[in-house]
Amino acid sequence: MFFNNVWSTLSRYYSFFLEGVQNTLIIAVFTVLFGTLLGILLAVAKMSSFKPLKWLSTAYIEFFRGTPLMVQLMFIFYGLPMIGITFPEISFIENFQRFAAGIVAMSLNSAAYVAEVIRSGIQAVDIGQMEAARSLGFNKAQSMLLVILPQAIKNILPALGNEFVTVIKESSIVSVIGIADLMYRTNGVKAKNYKTLECLFIAAIIYFILTFVSSRLIALMERRMNRARK
């Protein structure tokens, strides 16, 4: 009976779940993209010899790693408008303000974790690489951008892949501000057919498929990169 209910629910409301999957992936992709870019800047700033910049980046990382994502999301979505900071409304993108708030909150949070991953990757690169780049005439910024970072990214690709998987799962939190992600749509279906356990089972299976496929693709990329090094 349970699996019959699961199948009937999925057959009837599959479009709801598909929309949720689409929105979840959109949030995850943009979160990892912006989080990685900001994380690189934070990592470089934390390793800087300019102490105010180093202290600022350290404070940012500690704050966002030390406070709950839910609090950060609520502050950005509800708190910023109270002080006059709002996201623009785009007519051809439904609920853009909600999506923007969710992506910004998750990106800021993700950047704090990515920064530490990237910093460890940079420090893992042999110091002789920087010295060799400087001897070729590159300044410090060019050496970091063109020589050190590409090598560091290769070293930390598995960790960045794990961050993408984590973001897919954590994105369910954005449902609290009305973004129609997978969890939000799952709650909508529950409200229609009152089959709570079946809906949650479907959501769990979909999340598992998304994370499993993502993990396999990342592992494939890692193997190819390792073969290219040989």
CATH number for the domain harbouring residue 216: 1.10.3720.10
- pLDDT for the residue 83: 86
CA dist 38 and 136 (Å) reads 29
Confidence of residue 228 (pLDDT cuts 50, 70, 90): low
Q: What pLDDT, in 10s, does the model give residues 116-162?
A: 888 888 888 887 888 888 888 888 778 887 888 888 877 787 788 88
Asked whether 133 and 146 are in contact (CB, 8 A), the reply is yes
Tell whether the model's pLDDT for residue 214 goes beyond 90: no
Q: Total domain count for the chain?
A: 1
Structural domain containing residue 142: 2-229
Q: What's this model's pTM, rounded to 2 decimal places?
A: 0.84
SS3 81: helix
Angle between helices 182-193 and 196-229 (to 10 degrees): 160
- pLDDT for the residue 146: 81
Range of weakest confidence among 14-28, 72-86, 108-122, 148-162: 148-162
Residue 214's nearest CA partner among 34, 25, 31 is 25
- pLDDT for the residue 127: 77
